[in-house]
Amino acid sequence: MNLTGRGPLGLKQPKPDRAKKKGLPRVSKKRAAYLASPEREAGKAHMGRVAQLRCLVCGAWPVELHHEGKPRSDMNCLPLCPRHHRREFGPGAYHYSPKAFYAAHGPSKELLETVRRLLDAL
C-alpha cells in the first residue's frame, strides 16, 4: 500500500470540477426556435392523429411513425407497424430496403395521399 500520495504515474491530481467545464449547448438556437414555434405544435398534433391510424400495409395497431420526404417534416409521416417499419424484421420492412418497400406498396406520394384521405375520413 502506498501512503505517500503517489499513484503509479506520479503525484495524484485532483479531479477537475465538472461544473466549471463549459460544454456544447444541448440544442442549437435554430432548433430551439423551431421547437418553440407554432409549426412544431401543428406537426405534433398531426403526428398524434396519424398515430391513431392503423398500419398502411397490414392494418395492425399500434404503429410507429415513419417520416417521409426530403426535407423531413412532421406533416409527412406514415403509420407503419414495427414489422413493416424496422430493419430487423426483414425484407418486408421499410428500413430493410426502401426500394423493395416502394415497389411492393406504391410510391411515397401515393402513400402520403392515402394517409391524408384516411385522416379526412376521421
pLDDT tens digits along 64-119: 999 998 888 899 999 999 999 999 998 989 999 999 999 999 999 999 999 999 99
C-alpha grid cell for residue 18? 465538472
Task: Measure the CA–CA gap between 74 and 116, rounded to whole angstroms.
Answer: 13
Task: Measure the CA–CA gap between 3 and 19, rounded to whole angstroms.
Answer: 30
How would DSSP label each residue in 53-85?
A: SPPTTT--SS-EEEE-TTTT-TTSEEEE-HHHH
- Give the contacts of 1 (CB within 8 A, at least 6 positions apart): none
Say yes or no to pLDDT of 10 above 90: no
Predicted TM-score (pTM) of the model is 0.72
Q: Which fold does the domain 28-121 belong to in CATH?
A: Herpes Virus-1 (3.30.40)
Q: Where are the domains of the chain?
A: 28-121
User: What per-residue confidence (pLDDT) applies to 26?
Assistant: 81
User: What per-residue confidence (pLDDT) applies to 71?
Assistant: 83
Task: Measure the CA–CA gap between 63 and 53, rounded to whole angstroms.
Answer: 8
